[in-house]
Structure 1
Amino acid sequence: MGAAAARASCCIVCGTAAPERIERLLLSLATASPHVLVYLVDDARHPGLAALAGRYGVHYRRQPDWPGHARIHNRVLREAAGAGSAYHLLLRPDIGLPVDAVARMVAYMEQHLDVGLLAPRVQGPDGRLVPMCSLLPGPLELLLGRCFPLLHRSSGRLARYQLHASGYSRVMDVPVPTACCLLMRMETLLRAGMFDERFLLRFDTVDLARRTARIARTVFVPHVTVVRDPAHVGGGWRVRSACWWRRCVSAWRYFNKWGWLHDGERDRINARALRQLGPAQGRQDGVIPAGTDVAG
């Protein structure tokens, strides 16, 4: 990967993913990106992960409690920044990486110095697109998505929120990128203030993205594709129930910080993103009514 690769780091928070899935990911990183500084965070007390990390020469960090991904990532980011990392990759354990994915993402950011966050195209194991980028969230859309999902989908609001009109076939500036595979410029992160540790479950990325938008671009690139296979990551009904509650608490904190019905910055950022997609998506005088869009 050259000089840029030597200044890149990566964080994998293992969660409930099977150790076999983690090993496949580590093998992929070791093969394609041997100079990337990898941090493996064990937040579920998996037996054998420490030995696995030692086998692949990556940094193992055990997390005995669960303070949230934002706090975990901030700890790793500080360590990676101290080690001289210029780019940092957030990587979920359910992602499969092509051999050249990291190199191409770093190369794009090297060529575009105004980009602070970079998200690749995500597809499922069947090759179908998984639309993971979105507009900034608003409470109305969050309520519709949770309580009336069929109406949310049939009305076209979900498609607009997830930027379907783009076809995910071109480079575009996005208000909120995917967090499952996200390359970040370390300098931009430090200037933006890193993650707000009050937020969990997607809202930490939403909050970071809108603060980053004040100083740099957040870009989606279709020419780098990764594969997401959630079947590799477990979690029963207790986990899902806890996630639902944490999402509600995080949403409440997020809207208290940025505004519920009145959020002018959200309107401007979303309107700018929709204008890229053409007049059909940017109607209503190019402005999205406050409270229109939510985190999925």
Structure 2
Amino acid sequence: MYDVVASIVLYNSAANMVEKAIKSVLESPLNVKVYLVDNSPDDSLRTLNDIDRERIVYIHNGKNIGFGAAHNIAIRKSRTETKYNLILNGDVHFDRTVLPQIFDYMQQNGHVGQLGVKTLYPDGSLQYLCKMLPTPFDLIARRFIPGPLRGLFKQKLLRYEMRHRSYDNMMKIPNLSGCFMFIRASVLEEVEGFDENIFLYTEDVDLTRRIHSKYDTIYYPYATIYHEFAKGSYKSPVLLKHHIRSAIYYFNKWGWFIDKERSRINKMLI
């Protein structure tokens, strides 16, 4: 039984960056394993398996099946292998103390189903990745309102990113970033993993929300990771299309303007 099984989804990824993510996991003193689930059309990233053939499993899908669906492959394969799953982006890295620290916290706090950690840019500045449950306005404003007009909605946008709370304190958060999701394996099985109807974007919001309805989902600021954070949908029309489709699906599922659970949870966060 592994302490932690990490899964990283690849799609024409930069091998040198993914290597840093893999080594961040493997250098932990815990008993760990890594699944690399490759959605790229070719298998040129298979060479990453050579880093550690005993603890890395490479799976090549040959087509882009989506972020959540690819992670679900690793989640299903590891169902009887581990106590905890780490959903990890390939552009994240951290030191060897992070996994033991959060593993111990989860072992001591059985009511916690999922944990996120303090996330910094490579230059050391903070990423505000704790969020309220989104309204349609939150997602539209963050993506489409031009800079000069953002000042009109500044306080609302800052509140959505929980900037009225201290990121140095632990918080119960219903919307944790998908770049680093440390989740109890039994909880992932209970909620049946990612919703595969979401191809890309909002899949982390949906998953954390479902876990939050049954367990505590905690922001844990005492462990730190570094995240490159490319904001792909701001640069690519194709990714933007996926973002819009995912948002439509999410709000069709949970509610657009009437979402009593969202209203209740967000009110508590304020």
CA deviation string 1:153-183 (max 9, x = no partner): 5531111000012231100001100110110
C-alpha deviation, 1:208, in angstroms: 1.2
Counterpart Cα distance in 1 of 2:144 and 2:171: 30
| 1:134 equivalent in structure 2 | 131
Q: Given the alignment, which residue of 93, 96, 101 partners 1:96? A: 93
Whichever residue aligns with residue 214 of structure 1, its letter is S
C-alpha deviation, 1:25, in angstroms: 2.4
| Unaligned runs of at least 5 residues, structure 1 | 275-296
CA distance 1:236–1:166, change in 2 (3 Å): closer
Q: Given the alignment, which residue of 118, 125, 134 partners 1:121? A: 118
Other structure's SS at 2:16 match = helix
The two structures have a TM-score, normalised by structure 1, of 0.84
C-alpha deviation, 1:129, in angstroms: 0.4
CA distance 1:200–1:164, change in 2 (3 Å): farther
C-alpha deviation, 1:236, in angstroms: 10
Other structure's SS at 2:181 match = strand
Counterpart Cα distance in 2 of 1:152 and 1:226: 29
| 2:211 equivalent in structure 1 | 212
Other structure's SS at 1:61 match = strand
Answer yes or no: is the 8 Å Cα contact 2:118–2:220 preserved in 1.
Answer: yes
C-alpha deviation, 1:54, in angstroms: 3.2
Answer yes or no: is the 8 Å Cα contact 1:16–1:234 preserved in 2.
Answer: no
Other structure's SS at 2:164 match = helix
Answer yes or no: is the 8 Å Cα contact 2:41–2:64 preserved in 1.
Answer: no
Counterpart Cα distance in 1 of 2:87 and 2:146: 29
CA deviation string 1:168-213 (max 9, x = no partner): 1100001100110110111111112211111133311111112112
| 2:35 equivalent in structure 1 | 39
CA deviation string 1:241-265 (max 9, x = no partner): 1110011111111111111110001
Answer yes or no: is the 8 Å Cα contact 1:119–1:183 preserved in 2.
Answer: yes
CA distance 1:234–1:258, change in 2 (3 Å): closer
Other structure's SS at 2:86 match = strand
| 1:185 equivalent in structure 2 | 184
Counterpart Cα distance in 2 of 1:156 and 1:200: 31
Q: Given the alignment, which residue of 68, 72, 75 partners 2:73? A: 75
What is the count of residue pairs matched by the alignment? 266
Answer yes or no: is the 8 Å Cα contact 2:234–2:240 preserved in 1.
Answer: no
Whichever residue aligns with residue 178 of structure 2, its letter is A
Other structure's SS at 2:78 match = helix
Counterpart Cα distance in 2 of 1:220 and 1:205: 14
| Unaligned runs of at least 5 residues, structure 2 | none
Moved over 4 A (4+): 45-48, 233-237
Task: Give runs of aligned pairs for residues 236-251 of structure 1, distance below 5 A.
Answer: 240-251=236-247
Percent identity, please: 29
| 1:144 equivalent in structure 2 | 141
The two structures have a TM-score, normalised by structure 2, of 0.91
Answer yes or no: is the 8 Å Cα contact 1:136–1:175 preserved in 2.
Answer: yes
Counterpart Cα distance in 2 of 1:174 and 1:100: 23
| 1:8 equivalent in structure 2 | 4
Counterpart Cα distance in 2 of 1:141 and 1:199: 19
RMSD: 2.1
Answer yes or no: is the 8 Å Cα contact 2:39–2:65 preserved in 1.
Answer: no
CA distance 1:123–1:61, change in 2 (3 Å): same
C-alpha deviation, 1:43, in angstroms: 1.7
2:84 aligned with 1:87: yes
| 2:106 equivalent in structure 1 | 109
Whichever residue aligns with residue 78 of structure 1, its letter is R
2:265 aligned with 1:266: no
Counterpart Cα distance in 2 of 1:29 and 1:42: 18
| 2:227 equivalent in structure 1 | 228
